[in-house]
Amino acid sequence: MLNSLHRTCITVNLSALFTSFLVTTTLLFFPYILCFSSYNKMKHLLRLWIKAIRRGWNLVSILNDQSGLNNQFQTHLGTQGQQKVWAIGGGKGGVGKSLVTANLAICLALMGHKVAAIDLDLGGANLHTCLGVPIPEKTLSDYLSKKVRSLNELLTPTAINNLYIISGAQDDLGIANLKQMQKAKLLNQLSELPVDYVLLDLGAGTTFNTIDFFISADQGIITTLPEPTSIENSYRFIKAVYHRKLKMAEELLEIGPLIDQAMNAKISQNSTPADLINRVIEINPIIGQKLRSEINKLNPRLIINQVRTQADIDIGFSMKLISKKYFGINLDYVGYLDYDATVWQSVKKRKPLLMEFPNSTLVNNFDRIIHRLLNIN
């Protein structure tokens, strides 16, 4: 009798749990169901939610929370209300910076965060294409030319809930050459955007604009390809970031020639930028400690794109070791993206990659990367 009752209670509890899961899933993903037509895309979203359950996120608490995200959920995803700025850069053009920016933004938005993706590839903006958005009527040019007063007026919604874009398209002549005051004003305006994450899609090269936006971000992400030219340019990018970081500190003005000497040293020579700290500490311990403090603030992330072989994957670990040895910088290798033809297919269709091809291997790639960036185990 007791056994029968026990089995009945178990059956009822399991049934109730399954019903709760279906109701919860339907309520949470109803907006997305309206946006996506295919069964595979809906199945993909369900798989994401199942992953969330396995990681311990409490469904009942999420439903009871007005924002849809409870404190337990926030512990995994980062603290809501404390805006974070991520800058995606790299030394070479065509390495996939816009692809990475667009899909990291999508991942964050699907997790419940409000995200603004800003195209700062001034003079060559195309982030809107990766997000499947037509060229917005108002772009950064309108803000820089003072046609609009606030960046908030440039926020353009995408087909993905919680995700907005500020486009750099329809740029005026000379927009790529920002003045210092324009750059400072733009950086100050970022904190006024009503979002949890701001993702900056930077241009190629090592111009002061690109490097300054990269350094000013809470998290800098370097994207590269497993090719000699791209890797070489990535090292140049890291070197430029290193040099600019030191130059921006007012206390370093008196030892500028020493910094220049160290930064101009070739990798094959004994003297490296990493040796700079020890040499300056010997000359002036106070300034040396300030230098070390500045360098320790540099903790860029690395993503290898278009990986085909294990050797391509291992390049990231090699770059991590060399950056530590030569620059004294902790380059965090957060993951790689497999070579996949769905990338150019999604661009050709002007559709977001993760939404258009939910069964692509890149979905799992981005899943691993976003969890590394958010420090989710």
| pLDDT reported for residue 43 | 44
- Give the Cα separation of 221 and 242 in Å (integer): 14
- Is residue 239 pLDDT above 70, yes or no? yes
Count of beta carbons in the 10 Å neighbourhood of residue 35 = 12
Q: Is the pLDDT at 373 greater than 90, yes or no?
A: yes
The tokens for 36 are 């996506």
Share of the chain above pLDDT 90, in %: 38
Q: What is the mean pLDDT of the chain?
A: 77
Ranked by mean pLDDT, the top range of 3-7, 22-26, 125-129 is 125-129
Helix (H, G, I), strand (E, B) or coil at 145: coil
> What architecture is domain 78-373?
3-Layer(aba) Sandwich (3.40)
C-alpha to C-alpha distance for 26 and 318, rounded to whole angstroms = 45
pLDDT digits 0-9 by tens, 241-282? 988 888 776 656 566 776 666 666 555 556 777 777 777 777
> Is residue 107 within 8 Å of residue 367, measured between CB atoms?
yes
Q: How distant, in Å, are the alpha carbons of 236, 255, 366 from that of 271?
A: 17, 17, 38
Bridge-based pairing of strands 197-202 and 115-120 is: parallel
Mean pLDDT on 349-361:
87
Quick one: pLDDT at residue 25? 46
Write out pLDDT tens, residues 275-307.
777 777 777 788 778 788 888 888 999 999 999
The single residue listed with the structure tokens 């040895």 is 325
Answer whether residue 315 shows pLDDT above 90.
yes
Would you list the domain boundaries of the chain? 2-76, 78-373
Query: How are the residues of the chain apportioned to helix, strand and coil, as percentages rounded to the nearest 5?
Result: 55, 10, 35
What is the mean pLDDT of the segment spanning 22-37? Answer: 43
Residue 140 has pLDDT above 70, yes or no: yes
Q: Is 364 exposed, middle or buried (0-12, 13-18, 19+ CB in 10 A)?
A: exposed
pTM over 0.95: no
The contacts of residue 12 (CB under 8 Å, 6+ apart) are none
The count of other CB atoms within 10 Å of the CB of residue 173 is: 8
Task: Show the tokens assigned to 108.
Answer: 């964050």
What's the one-letter identity of residue 41? K
Q: Please answer whether residues 222 and 92 qualify as being in contact, where contact means their C-beta atoms are separated by less than 8 angstroms.
A: no
**Structural tokens at position 85:** 């700025």
CB 300 within 8 A of CB 332: yes
Edge-to-edge strands of the sheet including 163-166? 156-157, 163-166, 115-120, 197-202, 84-89, 219-224, 301-307, 332-338
What residues have CB less than 8 Å from 354, skipping those under 6 apart? 103, 106, 107, 360, 362, 363, 366
The pLDDT of residue 349 is 84
Tell me how crowded residue 326 is: count the other CB atoms within 10 A of its CB. Answer: 18
